[in-house]
Chains A and B, each alone.
Chain A
């Protein structure tokens, strides 16, 4: 399934608004209102929407755009421009490298580890999963099932064990066996719970206590998330130095506009997007594909 088809649903709702705009032969207030609505409905958020449209207005005046089509193209370009030229690769370079997965409950951290781990194994890396979610019942079982599919090893602690120590053990285990990469799961946590955010800070610190280096801290964000996604990104960054986003569940009717807002306002790049339930449905984020799919 092409990315475009996968984004089909997002396109539909967004596109209905834009279809109206496309037919217009002059740029009146109604055009701008509809563009604004389209962006807001896509969860782009008030302030990013305002910023995007202000810029597009300027450019429309400069470029002499006079119809709906022209202005949509400008909007597309403007979004792509803001998303392009950013390094979205996942960094390695430790011995072992540690990728830490963080986020609120239910966003798909464990699944993301499974899928991303599988990708890394396929690329020839030795991968260990650290079962750092010692809180959610059966989270470790879930991770183990994914490890089987991905051909990775799981290092686990007892239920209720200190997640930092589980991650530490996994890193030691990896270092001892010359494993390249540790993907560390963490329990979902609501970013307003300070003690849990502190725990995350500790996990990140302890992960580097031995031979490991945390080369990525990936915030997993559910595409259905609204404006709270920005707050989440801020809080998790503060606690654990988030280096990138994984946007999951983009195959639903949610439009994922939060990506534009988080990147634009916080400078945290989206690295991967989840576009389906299949094993291979986690793909690198491509700005132009994303915007094209959104607007076509």
Chain B
């Protein structure tokens, strides 16, 4: 879900990454991009504006002063603001002390109320409850039949009758009491928010049912109108929450953010597929980072903070800027990464990786890293400093020494080169906004023999609250863990996003 928004943000963030310092103009540029991204995801215009203001205020204010990697900081701000809108907690569903717990569903035509009713019934049933479904959609042809068919699959009784929906609802409640059902879920006809007669009718249904939960069923594909719809229903029904349907497609979710922000309704459940099991409580806190395509970045930040010492990292970064990034540094970084936990878990938390790992086996081989370590250990200090000297016979020797294949050695050397190239590009991208103080890199300065990289410009260094993996912080040097390190998984190697967040 939210893939389009995710990929768009990733595009923007890739551009921000590596920028040393963001001036007001750059902040505006980023805000412009964020605006487009949010609008294309159907976030309501007003909500976009509010978000922009909040982000701007923070981005040009104190928060970026003296920050070594403001691009990353902007990301963090956006993330926090999205999280703030979506709210932090899953909405708890409690049960009435005097059953039945009554749930009323309302919404536009085609939003998925009937299916949602059955899915909710299944959910309650799985919680050990005994729901009764009440079919009060007497308008749409065969709506009640649809409800009955679905209910049959999950073995939940349905009450309905012909006539007036308000009467049916009331009778349904009596029936639930008579049968001792402890949850009642009432499906209603789809109605337009501007249809006063039908809106009055559903309010009347609410009047007789006195629901504990009134849910607006909202199609996740809804555009700018979502807010109007939610407001209109909220006015009449005093909504408790939203059930967001059809979240299994793409480019969804602007509606969720908008409704949360404007109407204040949390999203209680999200429907993510056609099967009756495909309804789950909505976890807003997990969503903001997904919208940004960031994986579980908060956890990652925490872990990185645990692992890296700030001063150490800065010193390492400084060395890197002087152009001393070597295979030894690389080795050090591998060790840092490993300190954070199993590699596959760490990888999944890295922004940009989630997408790439999605379609491939995520079984990253820890042993592959052992082998990389082994290969580097089998190199002479000169080779580690300048891998370009490694020729055929040296490769053979290293392979024998590390118990690996010559091809693996070649691959590592090749990947290391790619990585340096990427670092170089990142340095280039940041040349507009320089790194901090005098720790500025110098272009093309060659040191020692061979062709050691001399990345210039800002170097990502973990800052408080921003410490991220692979940003140096080794004992003997630092540098970006950029470029695609092939950990035995073709899906994440090569020219994919740099693992470094800086």
Contacts and interface: CB of A to CB of B under 8 A. Distances in A.
Nearest to A189: B274
A226 B254 contact: yes
A37 B248 CA distance: 29
A105 B116 CA distance: 13
A104 interface: yes
Interface stretch (B138-146, B285-293, B442-450): B138-146
Contact of A141 (B142, B221, B232): B142
A121 interface: no
B42 A226 contact: yes
A258 interface: yes
Interface stretch (B11-19, B74-82, B103-111): B103-111
Interface in B76-110: 108-110
B146 A139 contact: yes
A40 interface: yes
A1 interface: no
Contact of A227 (B40, B248, B274): B40
A19 B232 CA distance: 23
A192 interface: yes
A69 to B, nearest CB: 24
Contact of A228 (B111, B112, B221): B221
Given A105-B112, A226-B42, A253-B194, A138 B145 contact: yes
B410 interface: no
Residues of A contacting B: mostly: loop
A9 B249 CA distance: 29
A222 interface: yes
A41 B258 CA distance: 13
Nearest to A10: B225
B132 interface: no
Interface in A183-203: 190-193
Given A226-B221, A253-B192, A253-B229, A40 B45 contact: yes
A223 B104 CA distance: 25
A194 to B, nearest CB: 12
Can you list the 7 inter-chain pairs with the closest CB atoms, starting with the nearest?
A226-B223, A106-B110, A137-B149, A226-B42, A138-B145, A138-B146, A141-B142
Given A225-B221, A226-B224, A258-B223, 15 more contacts: A41-B45, A43-B42, A43-B223, A45-B39, A46-B40, A141-B142, A192-B248, A222-B110, A226-B254, A228-B42, A228-B250, A231-B4, A252-B229, A253-B192, A255-B224
Interface of A: 9, 13, 37, 40-43, 45-46, 104-108, 135-139, 141-142, 145-146, 190-193, 222, 224-229, 231-232, 249, 251-255, 258
Interface of B: 4, 36, 39-42, 45, 108-112, 140-143, 145-150, 192-194, 219, 221-226, 228-229, 232, 246, 248-252, 254-255, 274
